């Protein structure tokens, strides 16, 4: 399961989802991209239906996927000796624009509230470290509810993130967002290239997204600056869950984000790009030869709203107190 600040419910993909998955070529690809699936047709034990009206509002989910068709209560195992009884799950049978089970950690998160109500956390807060998704140098991450790992922090926290509301670029609501007042692209042998300077761009922070999502103008600008060739494509039988920008040669550039009132965040080339990994028809992961991906989504951001995902968070510890 992955954590998402865009939703408040905990969404579980059911076995029915592969019948409605328009993104996967095979059932094996569908199952692998989502992890294990919940079989509603073979349920035993302590499970009860819950009225959908009991779910917290999730305004962003229906913009990308059909609304949740059903909700249930059942135990949730957190650790060998810790579980939540009667935890509410939203069941998902059609989610073509969402790839995996999601634990919602939005501002009205049922997961966070349940931990507090059961005296398993002192408050409606969390800290999140993304780790690294690099195939050559991966690094574990973590989520701590009600506190943070002091060993992960050098100095003081540098930014208080405003909570929920539309941001000044696009109309997508997000639990956490920042304002970028400078964005610089650095390429080998060239002077720094300002992509944002003298203007402001709001951006959502979302740990669910693996890659950056740029609005139309910034995506086009990046493609133009890096000589992006749309004819560099993958074999049709391969599946990539979040497609980035493909290049035939290694990409050695960096991006530097200046957060208004906050830190300067440098995304090194080792996090921004690596060889393409995809799912073969049998569901196994393969490396595509002679093709590299830059971790920026290949299409315009949803509602033209920029999103800073795991690649951005690989350089930070995110601490949130709702």
In whole angstroms, give the CA distance from residue 188 to residue 121. Answer: 47
Q: What is the dihedral of CA 130, 276, 304, 182, to 10 degrees?
A: 60
Determine phi and psi for 201, rounding to 5 degrees. Answer: -135, 120
Averaged pLDDT, 103-110: 93
Instruction: Specify whether the CB–CB gap between 104 and 7 falls below 8 A.
Output: yes
Using a 10 angstrom Cβ sphere, with 0-12 exposed, 13-18 middle and 19 or more buried, the burial of residue 109 is buried
pLDDT at 289 over 90: yes
**Could you report the per-residue pLDDT of 176-233, keeping only the tens digit for each?**
888 899 999 999 999 999 999 888 898 999 999 999 999 999 999 999 999 999 999 9
Mean of per-residue pLDDT scores for the chain: 88
The helix (H) or strand (E) run that includes residue 97 is none
- Average pLDDT, integer, range 251-255: 96
Closest by alpha carbon to 218, among 296, 151, 284?
296
pLDDT for the residue 23: 61
Exposure string over 130-164, b if 16+ CB within 10 A, otherwise e: bebbeeeeeeebeebbbebeeeeeeeeeeeebeee
- The pLDDT of residue 230 is 95
Which residue has 């035993």 as its token pair?
44
């Amino acid at each position: 399961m992955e954590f998402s600040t865009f939703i408040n419910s905990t969404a579980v993909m059911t076995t029915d989802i592969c019948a409605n998955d328009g993104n996967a070529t095979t059932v094996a690809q569908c199952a692998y991209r989502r992890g294990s699936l919940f079989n509603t047709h073979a349920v035993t034990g302590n499970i009860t239906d819950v009225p959908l009206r009991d779910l917290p509002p999730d305004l962003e989910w229906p913009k990308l996927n059909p609304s949740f068709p059903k909700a249930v209560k059942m135990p949730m195992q957190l650790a060998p000796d810790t579980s939540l009884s009667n935890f509410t799950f939203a069941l998902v049978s059609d989610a073509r624009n969402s790839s995996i089970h999601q634990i919602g950690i939005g501002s009205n998160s049922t997961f966070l509230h349940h931990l507090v109500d059961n005296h398993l956390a002192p408050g409606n807060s969390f800290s999140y470290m993304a780790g690294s998704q690099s195939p050559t140098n991966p690094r574990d991450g973590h989520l701590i509810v009600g506190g943070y790992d002091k060993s992960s922090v050098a100095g003081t926290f540098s930014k208080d993130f405003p909570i929920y509301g539309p941001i000044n670029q696009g109309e997508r609501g997000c639990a956490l967002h920042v304002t970028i007042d400078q964005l610089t692209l650095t390429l080998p042998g060239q002077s720094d290239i300002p992509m944002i300077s003298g203007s402001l761009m709001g951006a959502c922070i979302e740990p669910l997204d693996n890659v950056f999502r740029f609005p139309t103008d910034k995506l086009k600008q990046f493609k133009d600056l890096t000589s992006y060739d749309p004819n560099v494509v993958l074999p049709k039988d391969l599946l990539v869950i979040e497609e980035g920008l493909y290049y035939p040669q290694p990409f050695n550039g960096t991006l530097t984000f200046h957060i208004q009132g906050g830190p300067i965040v440098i995304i090194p080339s080792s996090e921004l790009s690596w060889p393409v990994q995809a799912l073969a028809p049998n569901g196994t992961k393969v490396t595509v030869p002679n093709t590299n991906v830059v971790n920026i989504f290949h299409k315009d951001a949803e509602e033209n709203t920029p999103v800073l995902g795991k690649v951005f968070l690989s350089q930070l510890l995110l601490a949130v107190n709702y």
